[in-house]
Amino acid sequence: MEILVVDNDTASRQQTVAQLLKAGHRTQEATTALQAIQTLELHPVDLLMLDSHLPDTDVFELIRTVRATFSHWFPIVLLSDTRHEQFLADGIHAGADDYLLRPLSATLLIARLEALSRIIRMKQELDAANMQLKMLSTQDPLTGLLNRRGLDQVLSRAWHHHRQDKSELALMMIDIDQFKRYNDYYGHQQGDHCLRQVASLLEQSLAQPHGRLARYGGEEFMVILPGADCYDARQLASQILQRVKNAAILHPASSVASYLTLSIGISTSCQQADSCETLVSQADEALYLAKRYGRNREVCYGEIATLINSASSRPVAVG
């Protein structure tokens, strides 16, 4: 383990460090509360050992500060020559996990460290399991993208940053044209393969560092583009349409083209959306118009009125 020993008494600290090194552990040293905090900020440790009588420092307050400052949990062991039960109990209540009485017994020290090592390993395994569960709860199992739950979380954060920083925010809602016909023609197994292909093509197109891609549901996907306006989003949409065209995924049942095509609806914060729900609704409306007026195209929400007024052909059925 990596252990930080905090003790202003040189002889006492060196003795503790020597015992830890002999037991096969790595050590760092500090003599004051400030040095301890600075060391923890620069060098994460597995365990903290605190002398109970640091100068000009209430050790219980230091323990509480450490617990409040560092989200990563590690055991704290109080080193004390005070055998008063209430004092030791107060240390535990402040956030310490154990205590050792001076002079330190090498046998007891090794035993306590072995016990704490087991706790640390169990905590790491639990953290890894929780991380895996969290990932699974926000990940679409078919495509590996964010699912609807993960999307809602990311979109909520993006909207908060947009309002806080007065920055641009764009959404793209993407739908595979006539995907039901594709499924009917090829079967659902091939349909799943197609969804994974489209997800991969979308990921390849999304070069923006902070953009996030999610499977919105069924054959629909959504892209969140912080800092992007309608022009930026339309540029990306054009690249996506071209990439899908180049992929030439056959779709014999399509009335749009012989290959798979997409329709894309775009909404941006410059259209005065008052919530992220409104932004999603505007992207959905733009997507509907993209499909209604020909498919295999992108439509930005602000262009809807112009599109309707300038339409020269009878709208086609949406699907």
Q: Tokens for 307?
A: 């599109």
Q: How does pLDDT run across 207-226, given as a tens digit for each residue? A: 766 789 999 999 999 999 99
The pLDDT value recorded for residue 6 is 96
pLDDT at 56 over 70: yes
* Angle between helices 10-22 and 106-137 in degrees, nearest 10: 70
| CATH code of the domain made up of 2-137 | 3.40.50.2300
Active-site residue identified among 219, 220, 285, 303: 219
What is the model's pTM? 0.62
Give the burial class of 101: count Cβ atoms within 10 A of its Cβ; 0-12 exposed, 13-18 middle, 19 or more buried: middle
What is the rounded average pLDDT of the residues 259-274? 91
Name the pairing type of β-strands 262-268 and 298-300: parallel
Torsion from C-alpha of 154, 200, 268, 316, nearest 10 degrees: -130
- CATH 3.30.70.270 for domain 148-310: yes
Q: Dihedral sign, CA of 13, 14, 15, 19?
A: positive
Q: How does pLDDT run across 107-163, given as a tens digit for each residue? A: 899 899 999 989 888 888 888 887 777 766 789 999 999 999 999 999 999 999 998
Q: How many CB atoms are closer than 10 A to CB 128?
A: 10
Task: Order across the sheet with 76-80: list the strands.
Answer: 26-30, 2-6, 47-51, 76-80, 98-101
Average pLDDT, the chain: 90
Instruction: Indicate the pLDDT class of residue 89, thresholds 50, 70 and 90.
Output: very high
Assess contact for 293 and 274: CB atoms under 8 A: no
The H-assigned helical ranges of the chain are: 10-22, 33-42, 59-69, 85-94, 106-137, 148-165, 179-186, 188-205, 230-247, 276-292, 304-310
Beta bridge partners of residue 76, listed in sequence order? 48
The pLDDT value recorded for residue 209 is 64
Q: Measure the CA–CA gap between 26 and 267, rounded to whole angstroms.
A: 55
Q: Tokens for 257?
A: 């083209």
Give the burial class of 25: count Cβ atoms within 10 A of its Cβ; 0-12 exposed, 13-18 middle, 19 or more buried: middle
219 given a catalytic annotation? yes
Q: Measure the CA–CA gap between 314 and 319, rounded to whole angstroms.
A: 16
Q: Measure the CA–CA gap between 314 and 292, rounded to whole angstroms.
A: 9
The pLDDT value recorded for residue 132 is 74
Q: Among 57-61, 128-132, 261-265, which is the least confidently predicted range?
A: 128-132
The pLDDT value recorded for residue 316 is 47
What is the rounded average pLDDT of the residues 8-32? 93
Domain residue ranges in the chain? 2-137, 148-310
Assess contact for 183 and 192: CB atoms under 8 A: no
Q: How does pLDDT run across 284-319, given as a tens digit for each residue? A: 999 999 999 889 999 999 776 566 655 544 444 455
